[in-house]
Homo-oligomer: A and B are copies of this chain.
Amino acid sequence: MATIKDVALHSQTSVGTVSRYLNGYQVKIENRHKIEKAIEELGFSINLMAKGLKTNITMTVGILIPTLSNIYSTKIIEGIEHYLDDFGYSILVCDSRDDVKIEKQKLKFLQDKHVDGIIIMPVDRYDSGKNIQETIDSGVSAVLIDRLTQGVTCDAVVSDNVNASYVVMQHIIERGHRKIGIIAGDQKIYTAYERLLGYKRALQDYNLPIDDNLIGYSDYTKIGGSKTVNEILEKNTDCTAIFATNYETTISTVKAVLDRGYTIGQEISIFGYDQTELAEITEPPISLVIQPIEDIGKKAAEFLIKRMKRDMANFPSIKRLATKIITTDSIRNIL
């Protein structure tokens, strides 16, 4: 592997000149040609490690996400990758497997790798914050996505969960439903917490009781979701509608309701979350909350670029992106 020194020798210039050429500084036109020729002939390619050692800049951004294997996560990653690509950054991807301990470990790891910035979806509302703040204190820029967490001062991009949930409930309530079940998630997760909050707030505003029997706390997985749906349906024979607050439990809800022999939008109305595809192939299609996934990634990358350039205007900012609601006959009008 040819080095800058070889190029200097081969082009009869010096390492300084070659380095300057490489970094876009003024170089005599004649030397520029000689250098380009040498680079070409030697197949030279810069050693980013050596460069990084010197400059402390790696042009790498770490992404730390609870789990990689769902479309939500990947679309975010893709959004980030595409945005950062134009700036020459590459991304180091880690998952925390929904575990604060692993999250802490990976954070340390990213620090060791000297990433220039980190985009992170915190595992939980309470414990993730401290670790993230420590990382920030060590000097790397960070941006939170999808979820907020306690004790961190940095930019964040989240979607408007409370409002989405509230609007969904409005829609359901205004069609005459009174016993509305919700498949909530672990309240340590920021989004799960906010979505339940919107549910409760809507009930209160409409003077409807908050009935604990109608609130099912699932683990937000498909299997856990099924269990929760069935529990709610068994405890509440008068339940007419169910709001599933994430993608996985939306699937379980549809499946559980179908398995019970009900028709969606008849015996049971369903409102779900994320992923339009599904909405299109059930009969009737499912009403859904659609999050601006790509935008979350893009916005987060935008923030990060800005902060990595040490532009600290309006720090910290929280960007709350609006969600869209698709309504279909999956919510029956029983008025």
Contacts and interface: CB of A to CB of B under 8 A. Distances in A.
Contacts of A69: 71, 74-75, 78
Contact of A113 (B71, B90, B109): B90
A90 B81 contact: no
Contact of A48 (B78, B91, B114): B114
A53 interface: yes
Interface string A110-149: 0111100000000000000000000000100000000000
Contacts of A30: none
Interface in A217-237: 222
Contacts of A95: 78, 81
Nearest to A254: B281
A201 interface: no
A204 B138 CA distance: 66
A153 interface: no
A68 interface: yes
A173 interface: no
How often does this chain occur in the complex, in copies? Answer: 2
Contact of A251 (B58, B68, B277): B277
Contacts of A114: 47-49
Contacts of A108: 45
A93 B113 contact: no
A17 interface: no
Contacts of A74: 68-71, 73-74, 77
B91 A92 contact: yes
A282 interface: yes
7 contacts: A60-B92, A69-B75, A92-B93, A222-B277, A258-B283, A277-B278, A282-B282
Interface of A: 1, 45-50, 52-53, 58, 60, 67-71, 73-75, 77-78, 81, 90-95, 108-109, 111-114, 138, 222, 251, 254-255, 258, 277-278, 280-283
Given A73-B74, A92-B92, A278-B278, 19 more contacts: A45-B108, A46-B112, A48-B113, A49-B52, A50-B53, A68-B75, A69-B75, A70-B71, A71-B71, A74-B77, A90-B94, A90-B109, A90-B113, A91-B92, A93-B93, A258-B281, A277-B278, A281-B282, A283-B283
